[in-house]
Amino acid sequence: MIVKANSAGVLGTGHYVPDKIVTNADMEKLVDTSDEWIQGRTGIKTRHFAEDGLNTSDMCTRAAEQALEMAQLTAEDLDMIIVCTLTPDMTIPSTACIVQKNLGAKNAAVFDLYAACSGFAYGAITAAQYIETGMCRHVLVIGAEILSRFLDLTDRNTCVLFGDGAGAAVFGPVPEGYGVLGADMGADGNGGKYLNIPSSGVAILPTDEARAKHLTFIKMDGKEVYKFAVKVMGRTAERALERAGLDHEDIDLLIPHQANIRIIKSAAKRLHLPMEKVFVNIDKYANTSGASIPIAMDEANRQGRMKRGDIITLAGFGAGLTWAGLVMKWY
């Protein structure tokens, strides 16, 4: 039996998206596509793109400030900051270090976590472990991406799918019986070839030549990723529920990774959930990778969709290929 020093739950949430809104009509001017095709295949109507000069750390900082305000905490109350991103400002220092400086969180240990679209769920599970063991009291978890700078605007199969944004949550101690009740996480590295940015590290350096060959942009085998997502997103939620001693009937709200409305509906069907119990905002923001779940969670929170005692389930999948699920009793 595992004895917890504390139960870990969410104390505050926040999010930020850039001001620039890109519509499907705007995308029609760039590639051979249509609003009807994009909405029908994905559920996306608009997405937000970061303006020049706005970096991932800037969006992280703004989302974090909102979450801290809701939690009624100061930056100095933080023991740890975890930034989940695949689009850091730079390789070193970590984006988390830049956010620490911006916030003035001088007491926090910090690091970046790399799990793509599953990132926030991975980060939330990690934060819970630190709090449950008593090593940390308050952990800030941020999911943030500027994917627009990695899009091939001549590839209609990818460029219409993604957007930019950041979401944040402060995790801390909550009364026993509340907070994180169960979790699941995993990966299948054999699927890494289906979703990648070939020139984004040391294997193929991101030179002008690589950029000219479009190797610095997101590459995706949409059919393979779709098959994977339909299989794992509902399954990871089921496993997290099982570990929490709960069933799909106990779910009050499912907050899934916002990649594709058809994938979301497939997960809801597997969990026997009506769409009224599923939070969806992909129409506004498109796929923001690691930011999608925390942005959705903050919107749901501020809309009053999560009340004390509700069973909230997070479920994500992403490049790697990775997946993660988390079940919480909201406090």
Concerning whether 138 is annotated as a catalytic residue, the answer is: no
Query: Cα separation of 5 and 324, whole Å?
Result: 24
Concerning whether 84 is annotated as a catalytic residue, the answer is: no
The tally of CA atoms less than 13 A away on the side-chain side of residue 158 is: 22
Query: Cα separation of 257 and 67, whole Å?
Result: 20
Of the listed 15, 48, 138, 257, which one is catalytic?
A: 257
The closest alpha carbon to 213, from 227, 202, 223, 199, belongs to 199
Can you read off the two tokens belonging to residue 9? 């739950």
Query: Cα separation of 308 and 298, whole Å?
Result: 15
Query: Cα separation of 227 and 208, whole Å?
Result: 34
Strands 7-16 and 164-174: antiparallel
Contact 232, 323 (CB under 8 A): yes
Of the listed 117, 136, 138, 301, which one is catalytic?
A: 117
Collapsing DSSP to helix, strand or coil, 46 comes out as strand
What sign for the dihedral angle of Cα 137, 104, 297, 299? positive
State the residue for tokens 């504390």.
6
Query: Cα separation of 89 and 169, whole Å?
Result: 20
Of the listed 6, 260, 287, 301, which one is catalytic?
A: 287
Query: Cα separation of 172 and 190, whole Å?
Result: 36
Concerning whether 257 is annotated as a catalytic residue, the answer is: yes
Collapsing DSSP to helix, strand or coil, 61 comes out as helix
CB contact set of 16 (below 8 Å; sequence gap of 6+): 59, 62, 63, 66, 165, 166
Catalytic positions, written as ranges: 117, 257, 287
